Structure 1
Amino acid sequence: MNTIDVDKQEAEDGKVISIFAYISILFLIPLFAANDNKFARFHANQGLVLFLTSIAVGIVSNILSWIIGPIGSLVSVVGSLGILALAIIGIINVVQLEAKPLPFIGEITIIKPL
């Protein structure tokens, strides 16, 4: 998913609700509350991908903790910091009214664009 062109008014209308997309399961709020807003839908997709990535990091770190011990804890800390950094980048994109994909994971499309 590349940067999408959105109408500035549409982005402004979806700005506040799109911030929720980057707070864990709250990506559902812009998905359902502003489903017809292209900007909010883009960020809901980014939030969903980030949420699924955080679940995957959690599973991997738990398995590694169980098998190897301290390495799982390290993966958990680094992964959590990475997820937090991506969430902050996403929120900054929303505030700047940009529909830019997140680094590393932003090209994944689960929620179809309008």
Structure 2
Amino acid sequence: MPSPHPDDVQANKWIAAASYLLFFLPLLAARDSRYAMYHANQGLLLLLTAIGANLVLGLIPLLGLLLLPVANLALLVLMLIGILNAINGLTKPLPLIGGATLLR
């Protein structure tokens, strides 16, 4: 993504940061902001990854019990990276999962 307009970043950085907790917030509050929508997309990718990881690892009897906390810790780290990127005005994709685009 090309670098966002500085006014867009300043006006929507907190909405963008909150999108990692509630990905749909920019859809309601900042639909016209490319910056907020970028982070909403990253938040949605993170949510879908979390649901998938928890479902898959929850179905594996013993190995899943060992890997589930590790996966959830990694997801928490990704969420913190995303929030820090949003607060700092960056549009860097999340490591490992941030390359896809679901929202435009």
> Shorter-chain-normalised TM-score: which range?
over 0.9
Task: Return 5+ residue gaps in structure 1 as ranges.
Answer: none
Q: Pick from 19, 22, 31: which aligns with 1:21?
A: 19
Distance 2:58 2:72 in 1: 13
TM-score (norm 2): 0.95
Letter of the structure 1 residue corresponding to residue 42 of structure 2: Q
Deviation of 1:19 after TM superposition, in Å, equals 1.2
Deviation of 1:75 after TM superposition, in Å, equals 1.7
Q: Deviations over 1:12-32 (max 9, x none)?
A: 111111111111xx1111122
State the SS of the aligned residue for 2:94.
coil
Q: Pick from 33, 40, 52: which aligns with 1:37?
A: 33
Task: Return 5+ residue gaps in structure 2 as ranges.
Answer: none
Structure 1 match to 2:70: 78
Distance 2:2 2:97 in 1: 16
Distance 2:88 2:14 in 1: 11
% identical aligned pairs: 38
- Deviating beyond 2 angstroms after TM superposition, the runs of 4 or more aligned structure 1 residues are none
State the SS of the aligned residue for 2:101.
coil
TM-score (norm 1): 0.87
